[in-house]
Homo-oligomer: A and B are copies of this chain.
Amino acid sequence: MSAAATPFGAFLDDLRPGLERDLDRLLPAAGAPPARLHAAMRYSVQAGGKRLRPALVVLAGERFGAPRDLLRAPAAAVELIHTYSLIHDDLPALDDDDLRRGRPTLHRAFDEATAILAGDALLTLGLTLIAREPSAVPGERRSAAVALLGEAIGTGGMIGGQMEDLAAEAAWPEAPEAALDRIHRGKTGALIVACLRLGGLYAGASADEDGRLAAFGERLGLLFQIGDDLLDVEGEVGRLGKTPGKDALAAKLTYPGLYGTAASHARLAALAAEARALAEALPGDAKLLHSLVDLLSERTS
């Protein structure tokens, strides 16, 4: 079944054209100097990502009553920031990846210096954007949004998770279970949780509602990351004649690596069940949220 045939797939399809227009408007003009930097930013942002994170912002915001127009800036901002994190993670000194979304990674298509600076520029643009737009939202809320997002992607969140992931590769941690949990929650989970909470913030969600969005988001983040770990193992096994998964080669600390694939599938099922139960505590029709949970539980790419 194609994603578009599901409620969440249809939601993504409805959202995407407006988001792409916003990203195009927000990115610096391709021809203006420094043109190479601007071209690099566009190469990575406009590479055809699924746009899952902006969709989470809009989904959560609309659930709690925010008009879509107020959610456009934070939706674009999280995609800019997600792209920055991919660019820097792919660098030779980090994961050293040559391909991303079927195309050469930014440092391969351009060069390493440009990739570092383009990542810096997308991070800066993402945080600056939500400080500035939309002007119809009070500055108090915009500065709270910068703080919420900034903390999620900082040393206690995304950057911290990436650092621990690299450290675990270099030397097996003393308490691998706790380290893996911090890596998963930081690397992927923190930004996913922040996307949902940002939507809630723009809708004026209460502290209780914010907590329910965060709990739902935590399960989504873990579903996403354990699913990713499993894909690296099983996605490759399914294609005869290919090298084994890159994670195993790199001695990465992963869920299937630590607990086995059977336990990983069981954990995925448990997380999906928890996420579905938590979806019931969020306002609006639960079908869209269930479809999102299904997408993350059953994804094959």
Contact = CB atoms under 8 A, between A and B. Distances in A.
The A interface is mostly helix, strand or loop, or mixed, namely helix
A156 B154 CA distance: 24
Contacts of A163: 34, 36-37, 114, 117
A167 B110 CA distance: 12
Interface in A277-301: none
A124 interface: yes
Given A93-B113, A116-B93, A141-B139, A34 B127 contact: no
B151 A121 contact: no
A138 interface: yes
Interface string A130-158: 01100000111111101100110111100
A125 B147 CA distance: 9
Nearest to A96: B113
Interface in A144-191: 144, 146-147, 150-151, 153-156, 159-160, 162-164, 166-167, 179, 182
Contact of A167 (B36, B127, B160): B36
A164 B121 contact: no
Nearest to A154: B124
Given A111-B93, A140-B138, A143-B142, A160 B124 contact: no
A38 interface: yes
A239 to B, nearest CB: 30
A127 B146 contact: yes
Contacts of A41: 155
Nearest to A41: B155
Given A111-B93, A146-B146, A155 B38 contact: yes
A131 B159 contact: no
A91 interface: yes
A112 interface: yes
Given A124-B159, A164-B34, A91 B114 contact: no
B132 A112 contact: no
A-B pairs with the 8 shortest C-beta distances?
A128-B150, A139-B140, A131-B146, A93-B112, A34-B163, A142-B143, A139-B143, A143-B143
18 contacts: A33-B160, A34-B160, A36-B163, A37-B155, A91-B113, A93-B112, A113-B166, A114-B163, A117-B163, A119-B120, A121-B154, A124-B127, A124-B154, A125-B154, A131-B143, A139-B143, A139-B144, A143-B143
Interface of A: 28, 33-34, 36-38, 41, 88, 91, 93-94, 111-114, 116-117, 119-121, 123-125, 127-128, 131-132, 138-144, 146-147, 150-151, 153-156, 159-160, 162-164, 166-167, 179, 182
Given A33-B182, A116-B116, A117-B162, 17 more contacts: A33-B160, A38-B155, A41-B155, A88-B116, A88-B120, A117-B163, A120-B120, A120-B159, A121-B154, A123-B124, A124-B127, A131-B146, A132-B143, A132-B147, A139-B140, A139-B141, A140-B140
